[in-house]
Structure 1
Amino acid sequence: MVTDPQLEEILAGLERADGRGALQSAILALRKHFAIDHMVYHWVDSGGLQQGCGSYPRAWVSRYQERGYLRVDPVVRGCFQRFQPVDWKRLDWSCRAARAFRAEALRHGLGNQGFTVPVRGPNGQFALFTSNHSCDDESWARFAAKHRRELILIAHDFNQKALEFAPVCQHAPDKALSPRERDAMSLLAVGCSRAQVAARLSISEHTLRAYIESARFKLGALNTTHAVARALSHGLIMV
């Protein structure tokens, strides 16, 4: 329950929002209320289409889409495997692509700290609600501890309102997944490694690879992460 009068007023405005422009106004008001550099709502659909609103610089948003950074963004990849909010320091930034991505984001004006709430809606809908700021680790830890509960509630409220303006869902692929393919995709969706999935299904990793590749082909996906996203969005698997 929100008890801050100013925040209550902003959320009341969010409830009255009648279009995406109103969502943008609401998220900018939230950013100002929490006194941080950026706040962003990011929706990714099964086909890779990205929508959202927030305060990231337009140059960075355009660069992100042009370069296809959805495929390497540790925040998207990490939160897709989680159901709980995550501090960016807990994500894997060790590979060269992730480090280069982070360096470019900082050059475009993003902060070095982040707290992201993953949100899942009906039919596998997946979105992220992110708070981003430039400060030291101790200051950010205090901010996250103080506002964690509020940010989680706001993320789900924001997503619920955004669903009202969502485009019509795409039709599911013509080729249905087999029971084994659904099992494999479901376990990958909840964050199991390939070795764990193979052990759970009592099959070899070689056989598992065949199931994954078959599912990926049926779903028209570019890679395994994309295949899981498409399966969730089309309601072919449940997590």
Structure 2
Amino acid sequence: MQGRLDTYIETVQSANSLDELQGRIKDLRNVFDVEHVVYHSINSLGQQYASHTYTPEWETYYFAENFERIDPVVQGCLRRFHPVDWRRLDWSGKAARDFLGEAVDAGVGHQGFSVPIRGPSGQFALFTISDRRSDAVWEKYTEAHVRDVILAAHFINQKALEIERGSDEADVAKLSPREVDALTMLAMGYNRAQASESLSISEHTLRVYIESARSKLGAANTTHAIAKALTLGLVIV
């Protein structure tokens, strides 16, 4: 997987337009050996860019029925910063269950793993892989490849932003190794006590690193700092 992903990232870097990037995104289906891959981005002006391997018929039907209003993947990821397995989302409502049935019938697959991404100026993007593996096989697969999926998601999003603004020379905040470590621990779900213990530092020192990183990133709070660090690829979890 790692060798294929490294080669793939090199080909993505050569994309100079969103049309070219669309073809590169579809290539990820073979890289990850899954049935479907989706990247969907909405910028602060409401402009959308999407690339996926679903059928055109499902895409047309999905938007015609306004399924984004009830889709637990979309609604769940709008409230999350961390990647999520579809099985952890709320499918208990009748509308959600009916929607899932139609999605499966359309070939989407009942298993999925989605990475929510928040970019500059209110941009929101969602990167998803989906398949029809069994629960046990899917759980083993995602545990083995979660880091690769997150890496690909944020790399594609960063490339899309570069193409959209016409430059890849945007300044990126530089965090110290300890600042990266501190945000990584929190991004992985550790509380401050657990993070400071894992890093063998005091909670006070941890707080200093977090506040320093927050200031460098221009974030409003710690959660915002984690989201920005993930979006910029400064933190990978």
SS in 1 for 2:129: strand
How many Å apart are 1:5 and its aligned residue? Answer: 2.5
Residue matched to 2:92: 94
Q: How does 1:182-201 map onto structure 2 within 5 Å?
A: none
Conserved? CA contact 2:82–2:115, under 8 Å: yes
Identical-pair percentage? 43
Q: Which piece of structure 1 moves more, 93-102 or 40-49? A: 40-49
Residue matched to 1:217: none
SS in 2 for 1:31: helix
Residue matched to 1:77: 75
Residue matched to 2:4: 6
Q: Aligned letter for 2:69? A: R
For residues 122 and 48 of structure 1, do their structure 2 counterparts lie closer, same or farther at Cα, with a shift above 3 Å needed? closer
Residue matched to 2:147: 149
Residue matched to 1:172: none
User: Would you say 1:111 and 2:109 are equivalent positions?
Assistant: yes
Distance 1:152 1:118 in 2: 9
How many Å apart are 1:116 and its aligned residue? Answer: 0.3
The runs of at least 4 consecutive aligned structure 1 residues that moved more than 6 Å come to none
Distance 1:134 1:105 in 2: 12
How many Å apart are 1:132 and its aligned residue? Answer: 0.3
Distance 1:33 1:113 in 2: 18
SS in 2 for 1:53: strand
Q: Aligned letter for 1:16? A: S
Q: How does 1:56-75 map onto structure 2 within 5 Å?
A: 56-75=54-73
Gaps of 5+ in 2: 167-219, 225-237
Q: How does 1:107-146 map onto structure 2 within 5 Å?
A: 107-146=105-144
How many Å apart are 1:136 and its aligned residue? Answer: 0.5
SS in 2 for 1:130: strand
Q: Aligned letter for 1:101? A: F
After superposition, the C-alpha distances for 1:92-140 in whole angstroms (9 at most, x for unaligned) are 1111111111111111111110000000100111110001000110000
How many Å apart are 1:21 and its aligned residue? Answer: 2.1
Residue matched to 1:44: 42
Conserved? CA contact 2:110–2:131, under 8 Å: yes
Distance 2:44 2:65 in 1: 18
For residues 61 and 147 of structure 1, do their structure 2 counterparts lie closer, same or farther at Cα, with a shift above 3 Å needed? same
Q: Aligned letter for 1:18? A: N
Q: Which piece of structure 1 moves more, 10-19 or 22-31? A: 22-31
Distance 1:62 1:46 in 2: 24
How many Å apart are 1:46 and its aligned residue? Answer: 5.6
Aligned CA-pair RMSD:
2.0
After superposition, the C-alpha distances for 1:179-218 in whole angstroms (9 at most, x for unaligned) are xxxxxxxxxxxxxxxxxxxxxxxxxxxxxxxxxxxxxxxx
Distance 2:78 2:115 in 1: 10
Distance 2:64 2:53 in 1: 18
SS in 2 for 1:18: coil
For residues 61 and 19 of structure 1, do their structure 2 counterparts lie closer, same or farther at Cα, with a shift above 3 Å needed? same
TM-score of the superposed pair, with normalisation by structure 2 = 0.66
TM-score of the superposed pair, with normalisation by structure 1 = 0.66
SS in 2 for 1:61: helix
How many Å apart are 1:45 and its aligned residue? Answer: 4.4
Aligned residues: 169
